[in-house]
Chain A
Amino acid sequence: MPTRTIAGATVDVNDEGFFTEPEQWNEDIATELAAESGIDELTPDHWKVLEFMRSEYFEKGTGPTVRVLGKTSGVTVKELYQLFPKGPAKMAAKIAGIPKPRGCI
């Protein structure tokens, strides 16, 4: 399992850069990961989504899809794309420090 150092901490990630141990995450890490993916500043709306992702993950064992985010997070799908332009579910999961959402097949 690869590791990487973000904001001074060493964390476990998979080959696509998703966290495998969500407990290793903190807010400084999120800020740095956001900057890496082109989000200069995490606004309160960003945080709302990130916190929602994490609580869903801890409750259900997988991060929500964009559609479920749009239905339940209080942020519309359109706004989600404005906040996380490269695809909200994956990008927000990465910044929120949770494993890659299980794609349905």
Chain B
Amino acid sequence: MTKQVVILGGGTGGTLGANRLRRELPDDVHLTVVDQDDSHVYQPGLLFVPFGLAHPEDIVRSRRRQLHSGIDYRQESIDHVDLETQTVHLADGSTLAYDLLIVATGAVLTPEETPGLDGPGWMEKVFTFYSPEGAAALEGALASFREGRLVVNVVDMPIKCPVAPLEFCFLADWYFRERKVRADIDLVYVTPLDGAFTKPVASQRLAGLLQEKDIELVTEFNTGEVDGEAGRLVGYDEREVPFDLGVVIPLHSGADYVGRSPGLGDDLNFVPVDEHTLQSKAAPNVFAIGDATNVPASKAGSVTHFEGEVLVENVKRFLAGEDLDASYDGHANCFIETGFHKALLIDFNYETEPLPGHFPASVGMPLLKESRMNHLGKLMFQWFYWHALLPGRDIPGIGADMPSAGKQTETAH
């Protein structure tokens, strides 16, 4: 009997999951991917747009064309999922019945949740580079910014790619130095965390880099209001941070339809799953991948890629009535652009924080240390994204399990 597997979302996780599944599942399993549009954005490229290092049109491709043959594509907005009748309801009133459902609808930005953020000054004096429109608008604002205070603020976690706002600071420092206006510009990084990053060793190294580059660090700041007109962030504790140009990373939530699907999501519309098997806590025939889940790992493309292996294995096992494979270890791997053609690399999982050393083994790319090789790695990643990651090929030498071989577990603080 034909089985229906429906994949919600045709972004990073939905695409790589569908392509891998198509290769591994027999023809009597029917695969359908649903997404609301046909523009697949290479999101890591958004970081480079404000600095004129990438153009919005260069980082977008057709979603449909990233899916291999034998996969149906439905372009329609999802309205809600009914777990009980195993049905997806689409915005045009049509429905899709499923035997197994994969939620891969990522995270959305919710600037409206922060008072004032999308009010006066939004996209004039306050920008974000987390959306294609925002990144493009910010390019114009940066080009004409010659003096004053540029403040980069993360409203609260979780956000996609938690290192991206730091990378933005490093690149801004470089950009303004190249333009010989750095002396007249104050750069400030304002975070709700108690350090530059969540994990102690990396946090220290990154704080050191901020200091070297003369970027002020304001910690434990919980933004309660953004006053775009007056140019200030107001904290819940009544602290204020003035700015001439604000770059704000808005709050993130899971997709809205998750909230309209009884039982599927948590209070922020993320989908609670077992952190090792990716099976939903709400129903055994529902899985989730990528930014849509509530797993305590970074919301990153690398995480989505590593989860893909476990997801595909578990979908196969579930359809065959076998026990699931509880092997996802929270592996994440991120390049951090630091400007001047250099980058740093971090590699970590649920248990092990990012440590110095080399990746994937003792002869390899330097970890937690600036190098040109890492910068080239980051640039090459875009090619890998379209040609290896989305088609669902393994990247040679980079597996789902975090390698420990090259890591220095004893570190001098």
Contact = CB atoms under 8 A, between A and B. Distances in A.
B5 to A, nearest CB: 29
A103 B156 CA distance: 10
B237 interface: yes
A66 B156 contact: yes
Please tell me the size bucket of the interface on B.
10 to 19
A44 to B, nearest CB: 21
Interface in B27-60: none
Interface string B231-251: 000001100000000000001
Interface string B297-312: 1100000000000000
B84 interface: no
Contacts of A102: 296
A48 interface: no
A67 B156 contact: yes
A78 B224 contact: yes
Contact of B198 (A65, A67, A81, A105): A105
Contacts of B157: 65, 103-105
A81 B224 CA distance: 10
Contacts, number: 42
A49 to B, nearest CB: 15
A71 interface: yes
A68 interface: yes
Given A87-B222, A102-B296, A105-B296, A68 B267 contact: yes
A72 B265 CA distance: 14
B121 interface: no
B237 A105 contact: no
A102 to B, nearest CB: 6
A68 B251 CA distance: 12
B55 to A, nearest CB: 31
Contacts of B83: none
Which of A65, A71, A81, A105 is the most central at the interface, judged by chain B CB atoms within 10 Å of its CB?
A105
B236 A104 contact: no
A4 B64 CA distance: 60
A85 B235 CA distance: 11
A77 interface: yes
Interface in A68-98: 68, 71-72, 77-78, 80-81, 85, 87
Interface in B186-235: 193, 198-199, 220, 222, 224
A87 B220 contact: yes
B251 A67 contact: yes
A85 B237 CA distance: 7
B91 interface: no
Given A68-B268, A87-B220, A103-B157, A81 B297 contact: no
A51 B236 CA distance: 22
A56 to B, nearest CB: 9
9 contacts: A66-B156, A71-B268, A77-B224, A78-B224, A78-B236, A81-B222, A104-B198, A105-B162, A105-B296
Closest 8 CB pairs of A and B: A104-B158, A81-B236, A104-B157, A105-B198, A68-B267, A72-B267, A105-B298, A71-B267
Given A67-B268, A105-B298, 20 more contacts: A64-B267, A65-B156, A66-B222, A68-B267, A68-B268, A71-B267, A71-B268, A72-B267, A77-B236, A78-B224, A80-B236, A81-B222, A81-B224, A87-B220, A87-B237, A103-B193, A105-B157, A105-B199, A105-B296, A105-B297
